[in-house]
Amino acid sequence: MFVSLLFIVSGSAVAQACTQTVTVSASDNWPPYSFRSGEQYHGLDIEILELVLKNADLCWRYVSFPSSSRTFEEFKKGKVDIIFAASFTQERRRFSEFSVPYRDEVMQLFRHESNPLSAQRALTPTLSFLSKSIVAVNRGSVYGEAFSRVVQQCPDCVVDINLATERFDLLVKKRVDYAVEDLFTGIYLINRDPYKAHIRASRLSVHKNPVHYMIRPGLLSEKRLQQFNLAIIRNQAAIDALIDQHFQRLLSGSVQVKP
């Protein structure tokens, strides 16, 4: 895959008077969080981000990379200023500042409809049964301690795949037993062909954790960083309302991504 560098300045950012512009990594195809239609980005995380940036008096431009691992590489080089929907880890803390959290992320186990989970497995806290399965995951995502133990016990049981659609394609073809996917993304996909006839969400949440903005060290002054965090805190009710609005759209199957 070659890198597609797409610098797109939002119209709302242009109209806004600001003294600093930040470069944000956005996904071209990660519904319902971030996707591109024409020259505009849309999605839940895009709406939340732009709400926060406006309230922090920051302008923005977007840049797109083909994978999260490539995004982190460019972030370390100083070519990306902000990454959204990031889980906190000590390893990442070595090369990044983190904002206060702005929403929760739920990683859910998805299965082929012919592969039902028993009641015992659906409620297990250990995930040990996955060490006898093949599981598709996203390279660079965080899945928590219980899943990390599965990886340690059986490294060959886990397949790293960049795109959610590619992970679900493998599940449809029964080349993997399960896929671990963000709950909102998974719901979006299983309402659409070719996945809705074959893939089901299990009752098992693999991991739930708050997500943050990763901010390039030195990008914001102490005062600006405080302003950024306050923009999240003061707008949390509006952020929660956006999350609920998108969730209701997902349940109704009304989220559409235009080419």
The pLDDT tens digits for 1-55 are 333 444 444 444 444 568 899 999 999 999 999 999 999 999 999 999 999 999 9
**Lowest mean pLDDT: which of 94-108, 153-167, 225-239, 243-257?**
243-257
Residue 40 neighbours by CB under 8 Å, 6+ apart? 8, 10
Co-location of 196 and 124 in the same domain: yes
Co-location of 182 and 125 in the same domain: yes
* Averaged pLDDT of the chain: 90
User: What pLDDT is recorded for position 253?
Assistant: 78
CATH of the domain at 139: 3.40.190.10
In the 8-state DSSP scheme, what is residue 241? Answer: H
Number of domains in the chain: 2
Co-location of 88 and 128 in the same domain: no
Region of 253 on the Ramachandran plot (φ > 0 left; ψ -120 to 50 alpha; else beta) = left
Co-location of 90 and 128 in the same domain: no
Query: Is 121 within a domain?
Result: yes
C-alpha–C-alpha distance, residues 10 and 249, integer Å: 24
C-alpha–C-alpha distance, residues 94 and 81, integer Å: 15
Instruction: Give the pLDDT mean for 70-97.
Output: 96
Query: Is 11 within a domain?
Result: no
Percent of the chain with pLDDT over 70: 89
Q: Which residues of 206-231 are buried (b: 16+ CB within 10 A; e: fewer)?
A: bbeeebbbbbbeebbeeebeeebbeb
Residue ranges making up the domain that contains 132: 106-208
User: What pLDDT is recorded for position 33?
Assistant: 97
ω into 32 cis (within 30 of 0): yes
Instruction: Give the pLDDT mean for 224-232.
Output: 97
Query: Is 257 within a domain?
Result: no
**Lowest mean pLDDT: which of 8-12, 61-65, 147-151?**
8-12
Co-location of 100 and 123 in the same domain: no
